[in-house]
Amino acid sequence: MNGFTFAPALGWVVGSLFAAVLVALAVGVVVLHVRRRGDETLGMCVRRAAICVLLAVIALTPSVATTTTSRAVNATDVVIAADVTGSMGVSDATYGDRRDVSRLDAAKAAIDDITATYANSSFAAVSFGSSGTLDVPLTPDAAAIDHWASSLRVEPTAASSGSSADAAIDQLLLTLKSIRDAHPDDRIVLYLITDGEQTIPTSRRTFSSLRRYLDDACVIGVGTEAGGKVPKPAADGADGGWVVDPSTGQPGVSIMDRRQIESIADELSGSALFTDSGGTVASSAIAKESRRWRATTTDKERVRVTPVVWPLVLALLAVMAWEAGAWFGQSRRLLQ
């Protein structure tokens, strides 16, 4: 839309009333001139009527409407949460053509696939064991996430009081809220990588509180339902044997909780991906879905209205100067 229009500065109601009154005054000036036929000349009548008409048009604020196009870029922010509890050290995981790797190594491979899949995106990284920690604040540096993934280690057994599948919720809630507040137009995707195991007796909290900040989510399950022995890392990084189940006195066995992972994915209104069948993030349907969350550009048309009253103001000043000059000249003649 480009062209001439009216956009009353006082609003259409007040502006229209003001213009109508001024037009009525202009008509009244002409009618009185015709009826009285006194000392008022035709020039006086024209000038006074013109002043009223010009003021009426100015009250309606003549403007020029111009259409402009603004471009908005919607970016994608990917939050990755990795489980680092002791059970992630179990070597029963599969990832692609790799077999019998630790669950944490499978998680690292998945993280590499995620950063490769989301080109030109920003990333944040959270690790969780006994509690959640924001390890990498939101950054466009994918290499920083890869470095973080390569440095991940399982939580020492001495620092753990049992696994809780909801340990990440508090930190994720803070992280996702801060990203949404800082970037309200961005799309936020969450990848949660875990074996889903919960060994403490308390009930797990729901992840549904995170949904308000998310556009999509994927829970990646690593490990197998057959499970494996949980290694006990020694202080110097050497083999420390196995974690012992105090109820049996035998090495404890950790299994991937498929139902728990599916339940978490449902609470996030997302999807679940299991790597035990040889699948990977890069070869899954999730990677295809990621195209929806990459940076997109949206063009929006806006109409800009620019008032153009200065020519009318100049004309009004000229007519008023003419009227003032004529009145001054007539006054001098009457005084002589």
Tens digits of pLDDT across the chain (336 residues) = 578 888 898 889 998 999 999 999 989 888 888 887 666 778 888 888 899 999 999 999 999 888 877 665 668 899 999 999 988 999 999 998 888 899 999 999 999 999 998 888 899 999 998 889 999 999 999 999 999 999 999 987 655 556 788 999 999 999 999 999 999 988 899 999 999 998 887 889 999 999 999 999 999 999 999 988 888 866 555 566 787 766 677 787 889 999 999 999 999 999 999 998 877 888 777 777 676 656 566 666 778 888 889 899 999 999 999 888 888 877 766 665
Residue 259 bridge partners (DSSP): none
Among 291, 228, 182, which residue's Cα sits nearest to residue 86? Answer: 228
Backbone angles phi, psi at 13, to 5 degrees: -70, -55
What are the chain's domains? 3-68+302-335 (no CATH), 76-294 (3.40.50.410)
How do 187-194 and 216-221 pair as beta strands? parallel
Give the span between the Cα atoms of 328 and 322, in whole angstroms. Answer: 10
Alpha-carbon distance values, 256 to 98, 193, 206 (Å): 18, 12, 19
Give the span between the Cα atoms of 247 and 257, in whole angstroms. Answer: 20
- Residue 126: what pLDDT? 97
- Residue 137: what pLDDT? 97
Give the span between the Cα atoms of 125 and 148, in whole angstroms. Answer: 8
How many CB atoms are closer than 10 A to CB 153? 12
Among 175, 199, 189, which residue's Cα sits nearest to residue 220? Answer: 189
Contacts of 146 (CB under 8 A, 6+ apart): 111, 112, 115
